[in-house]
Amino acid sequence: MIEFENEQTNVEQKVDNSANTLLDKEEFKNPENIAFSCRNVDLYYDYGEKHSLKNINIDILKNKVTAFIGPSGCGKSTLLRCFDRMNDLIDGCKVTGDIKYMGQDINEINTIYLRTKVGMVFQQPNPFPMSIRNNICYGPRCQGIKNKDTLNKIVEQSLKDSALYDEVSDRLDASGLSLSGGQQQRLCIARTIAMSPDVILMDEPTSALDPIATLKIEELIKELKKKYTIIIVTHNMQQAARISDYTAFFMLGELVEFNETEEFFAHPRDKRSEDYITGRFG
């Protein structure tokens, strides 16, 4: 442990893990396969006082599930929020470096357009205090879709896609808050799908749920990855191993290692990843 801390103070000066995080593989060479790419991304909170992300270099593949794991406060949720620019809402937060979405700098894309293309599911299930139908219609309505038939189709399709349709089809006008926790979280996913995004960001979507609801959400994620790019932040290593194709391991604001999930758990290249996986800390 002491050894490890020394190591940390040494790398505090300059972090360069790009050798461990940028993969030299066929899929990553074609720019059309890449949904997000980050180069030298640094993020500061509290007007520069807190350095929360240090020199992040990572590529996220399209139509794959990428999991971000790491101990609490390591910056994995922060990086996730960079992708749909939710960090803009926080006072005193500054992002430097390049983040590109489909090859375009995200600062040049209109935020509202970006957020319709990059959906987000939060840690706590947070349906709006309205009916199930209105919860799902909220996003499309904000984009100006008013036709009732179109909206009904969207509601049906997104409920089916989020595996909630059978459970709620007979009470679409009941309050979204009347559902159970797991159903609420799937409603939040349905709400996100209703915008027909390309990417779905999930910020620990199962940490507030019981094991059975978690299982359902995981099955749903496996189903969703056929259509969408999914980035999921999780505390649970087993969950990352179960559902993700690629895994990124974060530690104290730096991206330590990024690899295919199987390889990452079988042969971690960095000692810190190995320690974390084997449960020596964290």
Partner 1 sequence: MLEELNKDNIVQEDKKFKRKELTDRIVKLIFLFIAIICASFVIFIVIFILEKGIEPFVKNYSLVEGEVVQQNIGLFFTNTRWLYDGNGGMGFLLLTTLYTTLLSLIISIPVSIFTALFIVRMAPKRAKPVIKTCVELLSSIPSVIYGIFGMGVICPIIQMAPVQTFAGNSILSASLVLALMSIPTITMVSINAIEAVDKSMINASIALGASNAQTNLKIVLFSAKSGIFAGIILGVGRALGEATAVQMVIGNNANGLGFYNPLNPGMTLTSAMLSGIGEASGIGYDVRFSLGIVLILVILMITSILNVVKNKMDVIKTKNSTSVIKKIGKFFSSDIAFIRTYFNDKFKKDSK
Q: Which stretch binds partner 1 (CB under 8 A): 2-10, 118-126, 215-223, 271-279?
A: 118-126
Nearest to 200 by CA among 31, 27, 36: 36
Minimum distance between the CB of residue 260 and partner 1, rounded to whole angstroms? 29
Q: What is the rounded distance in angstroms from the CA atom of residue 225 to the CA atom of residue 229?
A: 6
Binding to partner 1 (CB under 8 A) within 35-94 occurs at: 84, 86, 89, 91
Q: What is the rounded distance in angstroms from the CA atom of residue 275 to the CA atom of residue 215?
A: 27
Minimum distance between the CB of residue 118 and partner 1, rounded to whole angstroms? 8
Q: What is the rounded distance in angstroms from the CA atom of residue 118 to the CA atom of residue 197?
A: 6
Two tokens, residue 230: 């999914």
Give 136 or 252: the residue with its C-beta nearer to partner 1.
136
Q: How many chain residues are in contact with partner 1, going by CB under 8 A?
A: 25
Binding of residue 113 to partner 1 (CB under 8 A): yes
**Among 17, 78, 87, 116, contact with partner 1 (rule: CB under 8 A):** 116
Angle at 267 between CA 264 and CA 273, to 5 degrees: 60
Which residues lie below 8 Å from residue 92, measured CB to CB, with a gap of 6+? Answer: 45, 46, 47, 48
Binding to partner 1 (CB under 8 A) within 160-189 occurs at: 177, 188
Residues near partner 1 (CB under 8 A) are 84, 86, 89, 91, 112-113, 115-116, 119-120, 122, 124, 126, 128-130, 138-139, 142-143, 177, 188, 191-192, 195
